[in-house]
Structure formats: structure tokens, C-alpha cells
Amino acid sequence: MEKWIKWSPVSIEKGSYVVDELVQNTKHTKIVLRKEEMLVEILFNGIVLGLRNVDEGQRINTIMANQKLQNDRYYFSNWPFYKVENSSFASWLEKESCGIYTVDEIIHIVIVTIDDVIDILTTYEPDIKVIHS
């Protein structure tokens, strides 16, 4: 079973974040989160292996399963960053790529906001910076 673990790559305030920008092109994948006057820029310099952006209301099964696993119905409240252990998305990619990338090489990062659940499969961690405006 998948297990979503809270991940703290940078020091940010707890709270509700929204996706302000999501850009994927041949150079990078950039996701910008907004919380009031603060922006959090997540930059994957290079190619990511997989990207999935789904409305959070369509991920109820996964969210509820992890809330139950963590014994915390508010597990996803007020925090945007998670890493996934035993990722079904990473297993799917390993199978689809005929083993070019294995689940041991793949990092599954999830960004949860009040409206979105963004899954990123990569082999490296992103650069993240906080911008106070």
C-alpha cells in the first residue's frame, strides 16, 4: 500500500496553498504555489519522468486511505509537500518503460493544495525557493 510521508524541503508556513502557475516545457517543470503574499517556486531543471495534475476532489480514495493509514483525518490540511513510498505511479512507470527506470531510482513527490494533487516522478529533487512579496 502507498504511504504518503510529509516532506519538508524548505521552511514554509503551514496553511492553505493554491497553484499559481504550472509550466512544463523542454527545459524544466515549474510549479508555483501561493499563500497570501508568499510564493513557493518548485523548479525541476530538466525532464521529469511523469507529471499528473488532478483536482483534489477526484483523489478522495487515495486521500482517505492515507488519512486512515496515518490515523489523522486532517493529515493533508495545511501542508503541501509529500513523498510517496510504495508508489503505484512509480511501479506503473517502471512497467511502462520496460525497466529503464526502476522504482528504486524513482522519487515520487506529491504537492497537495486546496484544489489540486500534483504527482511528479523524477530521479532528482527540485530546487525550491520561497518568495515574499
pLDDT digits (tens, 9 = 90+) for 3-20: 999 999 989 989 999 999
pLDDT digits (tens, 9 = 90+) for 27-37: 999 999 999 99
Q: What is the 3-state secondary structure (H, E, C) of 61-96?
A: HHHHHHHHHHCCCCCCCCCCEEEEECCHHHHHHHHH
pLDDT digits (tens, 9 = 90+) for 74-126: 777 889 999 999 999 999 999 999 999 999 999 999 999 989 999 999 999 99
Determine the structural domain holding residue 33 and report its residue range: 3-132
Q: Which three cell numbers stand for residue 34?
A: 501561493
Count structural domains, the chain: 1
Q: How confident is the model at residue 69 (pLDDT cuts 50, 70, 90)?
A: confident
